[in-house]
């Protein structure tokens, strides 16, 4: 296969590319010190030092790229704290703030397929840098890096402080006791990624961890928390339902760098963040007494604003990409912010999506309510009189040129009907979101990191969802 070499371009969260084609040692060595300099220009007054955190996940050669990154940044005159092991991306965002550093640079391609590696840039305040920062980095790629005396390079453990911070946010003894007594059974699929060992470190007791070995090919799939990649996970939970019928069973799934989460109820039914976010809203508002608004993206479930209204909470809607949620957290009091793809964050934490913290809150919600996740969600649907369902499909595109043609078609020949239903509203803040009725909408949007068309739909029943998605697939393929 021949790969076209794409320019270095930051997407919704970082720059990603195919290893040895787009993503090479030479390009990373060029980019890393420029990113460090831009962090210094924007956060130097806040940090009052020249330290940059460098970390990595479990992808192919991620630690080698991280070492090169650290050395390149050090040579440009910066002090570097290089991780001694893999860890979740949120752990490095946490480290940036905890160490009062300029920011962090993390080698990860998150949920992308095995051929990809990437580079995320995190700010001094512990979240993704805003678009204006990545635009500055891109604009300087052709300029030489100023000469400087080399800085210091030291190794550090990214897990200790991060775990301590998360443990203070939930009732760990209560969750641990539920597990020890057999009341709670926890099944965790880390998808061969950076969440491996994470929950056991946090809880201080064993959980059933699936796909915990390092596999740079991710079992032939991708480390994205979608049902098609989770056969082992579902098998384990359904077996657990037979073995432990009287226990509350919770399934948790983490993506490759542990900033996205999905789950499953006690019967092995998949729960996307469209389900988990409402469950978390109830837990944080009712049991923990958190205050603040709720932030959702344009692809978020319509159940979220209905539930928010029941608690008297305002809702703020953003384009897709957690950086927009994180930015809102810097300017408003936010209780929770989440996106359809599994990224969920909290105003009482750093402005970063954090799957392990979300997992702890989910476990706490189950233990304190004494209810299965599926039962909690059904109760919330009944409370809000909202029973719509949701699904999404991703269509690989032949090239970025095909992507451009489809986008032009959307702009110039915007559909007035979808699956035979009149479009009553069209929102184009991020892709094109067509609303056909109070409970039916379709979002057509392009991935920011791959030649992929994403189709999202919510409707009253699953057959209606599938009908709309098939219409959208046919539209794209025509």
Q: At CA 346, angle to CA 282 and CA 54, rounded to 5? A: 150
Give all strands (DSSP E) within 378-446, no chain letters.
389-396, 417-418, 421-422, 425-427, 432-437, 440-446
Q: Whole-model pTM above 0.75?
A: yes
How would you label 270-285 residue by residue, b for 16+ Cβ within 10 Å and e otherwise?
bbbbbbbbbbbbbbbb
Q: Which two tokens stand for residue 469?
A: 């998605």
Find out whether 322 and 343 touch, Cβ atoms under 8 Å. Answer: yes
Question: Could you count the other beta carbons within 10 Å of the beta carbon of residue 4?
Answer: 10
Sign of CA dihedral 100, 338, 12, 111: positive
Sign of CA dihedral 334, 340, 343, 344: positive
User: Domains plus CATH for the chain?
Assistant: 15-158 (3.40.120.10), 169-384 (3.40.120.10), 389-477 (3.30.310.50)
Query: In whole angstroms, what is the distance from residue 105 CA to residue 401 CA?
Result: 30
From first to last of its 478 residues, the chain has per-residue pLDDT tens of: 566 788 899 987 899 999 999 999 999 999 999 999 999 999 999 888 999 999 999 999 999 999 999 999 999 999 999 999 999 999 999 999 999 999 999 999 999 999 999 999 999 999 999 889 999 999 999 988 888 999 999 999 999 999 999 999 999 999 999 999 999 999 999 999 999 999 999 999 999 999 999 999 999 999 999 999 999 999 999 999 999 999 999 999 999 999 999 999 999 999 999 999 999 999 999 999 999 999 999 999 999 999 999 999 999 999 988 888 999 999 999 999 999 989 999 999 999 999 999 999 999 999 999 999 999 999 999 999 999 999 999 999 887 788 888 989 999 999 999 999 999 999 998 899 999 987 899 999 988 667 889 999 999 999 999 999 999 999 998 8
Give how far Cα 230 sits from Cα of 97, 109, 258, Å.
34, 19, 16
């Amino acid at each position: 296969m021949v790969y076209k070499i794409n320019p270095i371009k930051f997407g919704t969260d970082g720059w990603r590319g195919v290893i040895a084609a787009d993503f090479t040692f030479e390009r990373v060595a060029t980019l890393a010190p420029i990113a460090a300099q831009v962090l210094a220009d924007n956060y130097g007054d806040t940090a009052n030092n020249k330290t940059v955190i460098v970390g990595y996940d479990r992808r192919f050669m991620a630690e080698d790229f991280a070492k090169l990154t650290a050395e390149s940044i050090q040579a440009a005159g910066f002090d570097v704290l290089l991780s001694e092991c893999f860890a979740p991306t949120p752990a490095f965002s946490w480290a940036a703030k905890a160490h009062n550093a300029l920011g962090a640079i993390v080698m990860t391609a998150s949920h992308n397929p095995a051929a990809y590696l990437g580079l995320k840039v995190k700010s001094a305040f512990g979240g993704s840098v805003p678009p204006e920062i990545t635009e500055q980095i891109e604009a300087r790629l052709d300029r030489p890096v100023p000469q400087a005396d080399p800085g210091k390079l030291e190794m550090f453990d990214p897990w200790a402080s991060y775990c301590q911070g998360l443990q203070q946010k939930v009732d760990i003894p209560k969750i641990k006791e539920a597990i020890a007594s057999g009341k709670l059974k926890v099944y965790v699929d880390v998808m061969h990624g950076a969440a491996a060992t994470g929950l056991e470190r946090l809880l201080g007791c064993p959980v059933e961890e699936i796909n915990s070995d390092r596999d740079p090919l991710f079992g032939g799939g991708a480390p994205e928390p979608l049902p098609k990649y989770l056969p082992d996970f579902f098998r384990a939970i359904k077996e657990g339902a037979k073995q432990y019928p009287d226990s509350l069973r919770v399934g948790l799934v983490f993506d490759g760098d542990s900033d996205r989460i999905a789950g499953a109820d006690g019967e092995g039914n998949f729960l996307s963040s469209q389900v988990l976010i409402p469950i978390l809203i109830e837990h944080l508002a009712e049991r923990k007494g958190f205050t603040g608004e709720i932030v959702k993206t344009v692809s978020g479930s319509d159940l979220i604003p209905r539930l928010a209204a029941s608690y008297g909470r305002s809702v703020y809607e953003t384009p897709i990409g957690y950086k927009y949620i994180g930015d809102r957290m810097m300017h408003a009091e936010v209780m929770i912010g989440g996106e359809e793809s599994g990224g969920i964050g909290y105003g009482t934490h750093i402005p970063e999506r954090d799957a392990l913290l979300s997992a702890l809150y989910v476990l706490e919600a189950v233990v304190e309510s004494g209810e299965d996740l599926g039962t909690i969600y059904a109760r919330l649907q009944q409370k809000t009189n909202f029973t719509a369902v949701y699904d999404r499909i991703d269509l690989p595109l032949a090239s970025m040129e095909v992507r451009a043609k489809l986008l032009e078609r959307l702009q110039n020949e915007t559909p007035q009907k979808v699956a035979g239903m009149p479009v009553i509203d069209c929102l184009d803040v991020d892709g094109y979101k067509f609303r056909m009725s109070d409970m039916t909408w379709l979002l057509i949007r392009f991935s920011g990191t791959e030649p992929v068309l994403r189709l999202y739909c919510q409707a009253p029943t699953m057959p209606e969802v599938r009908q709309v998605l098939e219409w959208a697939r046919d539209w794209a393929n025509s």
